[in-house]
Structure 1
């Protein structure tokens, strides 16, 4: 989580212009990194809610920050009343919603008039060379299904298409800004093994141990340009921050 997601939370909260006293909803909250940042800005955990499809994520979020209202549920059918929040935020979840249009309509439904939303998605994979190189390695070594599983998080890199998506759902004052972040892992193996043993199975791709061993060995050479003098894996990873309002 800290390697890829932690430092984006203040950026998203800034984009939503969250201020003390706001009621805030974090959609696809995961373990609650963004919701906790929002609670710190708002000044009261009870003013913040977080929702995620995965019960395990919600259980961990609840242990970390019990004062926030955590719920299990879908972005496409939010269990909240109309106009109940001043701001809605989400980071790196929109790519995986089953119905993105409906999810954005739900964001707007639960916002009060004039409310703000801010959503982060990764830039196109061609603009993240480290992941592009790893995807190419997976294509060669494990097949296109494995490569596609790792391409999935980068599916919303087209900025004009993002504007159209939010405007089609009824959002106003839609803006998309690209921000550059830095991913930092203790080693090449830490990133690659996390993707092979953690992310790919989530996407329905399970590699054999020989396949994993081979990819881990090859990745040392493929990702060597991103290895620091201290052995860490460090690379740029840009994201688009979409900000919008409810009319």
Structure 2
């Protein structure tokens, strides 16, 4: 698959480095079992859903939901290539098109901070889970704890504009674990646990990652429309901002999130 669209760049650059490791971490926490019906909420290009059959031999219904149709188009292609039987549904998190008590397990990675109505989304998530159902989510912590995002925001501030930098900072827009716990409890979830978790992530070519990341974040391609020289200056600023996370051409950086587990 060529990496020409936003969704394809997201898949080719960000998913292997960031979202696959977090998908594995969430699946490890929730321990889905054979025959269980699984919801991948705000699924993007479907990375969590694609990991499930690698870990359990006979999953039940697999459903990915996202509001972005282009992301789902990529998810469908990748699922077909993998021979994966999954449903891909375009819908908002605050209005899920399912009857109640449909799923045993739900996942949501790095998306709750972007939901326009977080309480409504969590009420919907609670509604569609079966009694005893469980959920595993992750939400980015403060930008000061995440040097890759901090370097990216600063580079965009300087070379694109503050609005572009703020779009990256929005990824860290729900860092407070106590606030997250209250959101889940207010939606009716039980046994809510919020744990600060750090994954050490890496890419062998930081320059390639920088070029792709600034063209494939949730926040869109912030380098589009810039002259080549301006793009190069933004990438150089990103690399400089990585500091000790840059080792020669490679990058290795901590990625710090709150991981939330809960039950219905």
Same fold (TM over 0.5): yes
Q: Which stretches in structure 2 are left out of the alignment for 5+ residues?
A: 1-14
* 1:221 counterpart (231, 240, 244): 240
The CA distance in 2 between the partners of 1:42 and 1:75, in whole Å, is: 26
Asked if residue 154 in structure 1 is aligned to residue 172 in structure 2, the reply is: yes
After superposition, where does 1:23-42 map in structure 2 within 5 Å? 23-42=37-56
After superposition, where does 1:179-218 map in structure 2 within 5 Å? 179-199=197-217, 202=220, 208-209=226-227, 210-218=229-237
Q: Which stretches in structure 1 are left out of the alignment for 5+ residues?
A: none
What secondary structure, in the 3-state scheme, does the structure 2 residue paired with 1:43 have? coil
- CA distance change for structure 1 residues 124 and 207 in 2, over 3 Å: closer, same or farther? farther
- CA distance change for structure 1 residues 44 and 54 in 2, over 3 Å: closer, same or farther? farther
- CA distance change for structure 1 residues 37 and 47 in 2, over 3 Å: closer, same or farther? same
The answer on whether the counterparts of 2:34 and 2:60 sit within 8 Å (CA) in structure 1 is no
Deviates more, 1:128-137 or 1:84-93: 128-137
The CA distance in 2 between the partners of 1:183 and 1:47, in whole Å, is: 31
The CA distance in 2 between the partners of 1:46 and 1:172, in whole Å, is: 24
Question: Which stretches of structure 1, 4 residues or longer, exceed 4 Å deviation after superposition?
Answer: 203-207
* Structure 2 match to 1:52: 66
Deviations 1:29-81 (A, max 9, x none): 11211012234444335521111112222122222224112212111111111
For residue 243 of structure 1, report the CA deviation from its aligned partner: 0.6
For residue 151 of structure 1, report the CA deviation from its aligned partner: 0.7
What secondary structure, in the 3-state scheme, does the structure 2 residue paired with 1:89 have? strand
What secondary structure, in the 3-state scheme, does the structure 1 residue paired with 2:192 have? strand
Q: Would you say how many aligned residue pairs link Structure 1 and Structure 2? A: 245
Deviations 1:199-231 (A, max 9, x none): 3862788552243232123333322422224x2
The answer on whether the counterparts of 2:64 and 2:89 sit within 8 Å (CA) in structure 1 is yes
* 1:168 counterpart (172, 183, 186): 186
- CA distance change for structure 1 residues 115 and 201 in 2, over 3 Å: closer, same or farther? closer
Give the superposed CA RMSD.
Answer: 2.1
For residue 100 of structure 1, report the CA deviation from its aligned partner: 1.1
What secondary structure, in the 3-state scheme, does the structure 2 residue paired with 1:199 have? coil
What secondary structure, in the 3-state scheme, does the structure 1 residue paired with 2:16 have? coil
* 1:5 counterpart (9, 16, 19): 19
The answer on whether the counterparts of 1:93 and 1:121 sit within 8 Å (CA) in structure 2 is yes
The CA distance in 2 between the partners of 1:32 and 1:88, in whole Å, is: 13
What secondary structure, in the 3-state scheme, does the structure 1 residue paired with 2:216 have? helix
The CA distance in 1 between the partners of 2:181 and 2:219, in whole Å, is: 32
For residue 89 of structure 1, report the CA deviation from its aligned partner: 0.9
The CA distance in 2 between the partners of 1:118 and 1:153, in whole Å, is: 18
Asked if residue 78 in structure 1 is aligned to residue 121 in structure 2, the reply is: no
What secondary structure, in the 3-state scheme, does the structure 2 residue paired with 1:49 have? strand
The answer on whether the counterparts of 1:39 and 1:45 sit within 8 Å (CA) in structure 2 is yes
- CA distance change for structure 1 residues 206 and 60 in 2, over 3 Å: closer, same or farther? closer
